[in-house]
Amino acid sequence: MSVELYHRNIDALRRHLPPATVEKIDRPVAFPALVAEEGGGDINIDLGHTRLYAGGAAAYAAGQVARYLAKPSRLFVNPPPLDSDWVKGEKPFYEALIERFGPLPDPESGEPGVSPGVRPGALISFGVGLGLHIPLLLKSISVRDVFLAEQFPEFVSLSLRVTDWAAVIDGLEAAGGRLHLYLDASPIVLAARVFEGMRRHCALTMDGSYGLRHYASPVLDDAHRQFSEMLPTLGSSHGFVEDECLMLRNAVGVMRQDSIKVAPPQDFAPHAIPAIVVGSGPSLDGSIEEIRRLRDRALLISGGTALSALLGYGLKPDLHCEIENVEDIHTVIAGVAERYDISDIPLLCPLTVDPRIPPYFRRVVGFFREGLTPTLLFGGDVGPWNHAGPTVTNLAMRAAAWAGARRVYLFGVDMGTAEKEKHHSDASFYAWEAGSGDDAYWRSGANMDRFDIAVPGNFRDKVFTNKTFLFNKAFFSTFAAAHPGIAVSNCSDGARIDGTITCPPGELVLEPAGGDPRAVIESLIDALPATGKVLPASTRKSGLSAYAQDLAAWRHEALSVLEQSYGLDVAIERFQELVLQGDGPDAGNSRAASACYGGTTSLMLHYAFAHYRRLAGDEREAFDGFCRAALRDSIAWMGALTDAAIRDAEGGGVSAP
């Protein structure tokens, strides 16, 4: 417990942690106290009513590590679902590797003791305590990064006096890795920070990663539960190059419509009128009369196909939201417009939607969606909206905050279902099309993945969801945690959303609005500038020219990595920053290039690393050479896509009719 160790640790941690995190742990701790165990030889943390470790910290750590190594909890990548719509242009890459080397080997093959091991990405520990378990684990396992989640900064501060964190950091740096520490009393925040950290720093190398809970507490137990619930989506794509190209074409086409208003990310001033956010989940049908009862007492905001359901029930929203760029959205809007007059409903959408959609609405508000290529190219002076995705109901909740509501009620935002075959409201566009003929596409929810993951329900013990909704559900929770001044109540009979208040629709009581909800939206739109005033054509043209050069530079750098003589696992680690630069806070064309290529490239490398790591040593050399050649072909394919997209964008993008 030397002063020298403390200062050496602090100096090392400053190299890896944000200053605000270091400030929380670099301070004296009066309570809880670091104490010696009776009989000497071990230490503990005195919590007042008890001690943290049964039998002492060193004995506890040694026992925990021995038990863990005998039966470690590991994270393994699954084979790509080649028949899924979510597997796009990267499919030939997977098929070539599988045809040549067979399916993804069993997870435990290629581990140390069978052949020379390839280091997996990470060790995750929910709970730090005195941290004595971390050096012990790293003596037996090899990883690139260590992720630590802790509720109490005081515990970490005490650990600086007894654990040699400087040696841990030196070892991680030698492997090209880092130590990541997340401190928070919210289980939602802790789970989200570890999840986001893994996706940011170990997106390509997560196969084989290790995870454990160091000690039990309500916060850490709940954080671990939430993180475990999100695990099926940990390897989800950061985007697809085809989508980025489409969104570039769309954005240029939308920005040519100078009447569209552009909204910066700042929320408007709070007011007393609450918001009802409506999705088109199956439970909407059972709660529609409650929405009708409350309609004049709140802003009514619809997301996606909820518009068709609300209009079918005779309710017109004050604001409608769309987010996707695909053809289906135009099909839906055109179909709804054939039945109902939607021209007087204000539309909120990212500037990347199909340019044919805005003309259906008289008043349109566009915004830059966080992390997308057009945002990084053109949105620097305006700024991106965060928490505005990934789905349209996430956007609708963000829209409620933008409009100044401080109480939000979710209806039909199910994120799952009690009946596995029922995916949307019976009044939604899906039911319209399915009822008009034998249209398997719409009856399937537009080829929606099956609901085969059981999760806790909002009003039931469990409901069933899929990876897409599981991923989206986590974003609702992080929104709630990031906006503590907004009370979010979940009135949907679907999946439980951590961070929201469960509220049966029949029990909801709202006071009179004290004003016209529609007038609130109209006044906000009046205050916004049009696209032509924010993003003149000259700005767009110069941005595209520089972007083309940066795309070429990205491809050149990627090919240079593949030409180096180090092993494929090292090459993939070198790609880590290259493919994820677009996640950074500083916008620019080079980051736009990474955002464009990074998602598809990371999916391919994510799989390649897992396959390579699990092969026996004598098989890796052949896989290495074949995989590099397949990646070169994929980079050439992506280059052809982006070259065509830029030519189209320079010609005006996709135009509205």
Nearest to 215 by CA among 339, 53, 405, 359: 53
Nearest to 365 by CA among 343, 347, 387: 347
Q: What is the pLDDT of residue 127?
A: 97
- Whole-number average pLDDT of the chain: 88
Q: What is the pLDDT of residue 544?
A: 86
* 50-59 pLDDT per residue, tens: 999 999 999 9
Of 191-205, 304-318, 431-445, give the lowest mean pLDDT range: 431-445
Tell me how far apart the alpha carbons of residues 336 and 347 are, in angstroms, rounded to a whole number.
14
Sheet with strand 145-150: strands edge to edge:
74-75, 209-213, 122-126, 145-150, 179-183
Binning pLDDT at 50, 70 and 90, where does residue 435 land?
A: low
Binning pLDDT at 50, 70 and 90, where does residue 270 land?
A: confident
Mean pLDDT over residues 186-206, rounded?
92
Cβ atoms of 175 and 17 within 8 Å: the answer is no
Nearest to 603 by CA among 86, 76, 85, 243: 86
Given a cut of 90, is residue 471 above it in pLDDT? no
Tell me how far apart the alpha carbons of residues 69 and 146 are, in angstroms, rounded to a whole number.
17
Tell me how far apart the alpha carbons of residues 285 and 287 are, in angstroms, rounded to a whole number.
6
Q: Is 66 exposed, middle or buried (0-12, 13-18, 19+ CB in 10 A)?
A: exposed
Checking DSSP bridges between strand 453-455 and strand 463-465, what pairing results, if any? antiparallel
Q: DSSP H helical segments within 383-490, as ranges?
A: 392-402, 429-435, 440-443, 467-482
Cβ atoms of 229 and 477 within 8 Å: the answer is no
* 553-572 pLDDT per residue, tens: 999 999 999 999 889 999 99
Residue 542, both tokens: 């110069």
Given a cut of 80, is residue 308 above it in pLDDT? yes
More confident of the two residues 419 and 581: 419
Query: Which amino acid is present at 122?
Result: A
Cβ atoms of 65 and 133 within 8 Å: the answer is yes
Tell me how far apart the alpha carbons of residues 199 and 59 are, in angstroms, rounded to a whole number.
34
pTM equals 0.87
Q: What is the pLDDT of residue 447?
A: 64
Q: What is the pLDDT of residue 536?
A: 61
Q: What is the pLDDT of residue 556?
A: 94
* 584-636 pLDDT per residue, tens: 444 344 788 999 999 999 999 999 999 999 988 788 999 999 999 999 999 99
Query: Which amino acid is present at 38?
Result: E
Binning pLDDT at 50, 70 and 90, where does residue 389 land?
A: confident
Of 70-74, 227-231, 510-514, 594-598, give the lowest mean pLDDT range: 510-514
Percentage of the chain with pLDDT > 90? 62
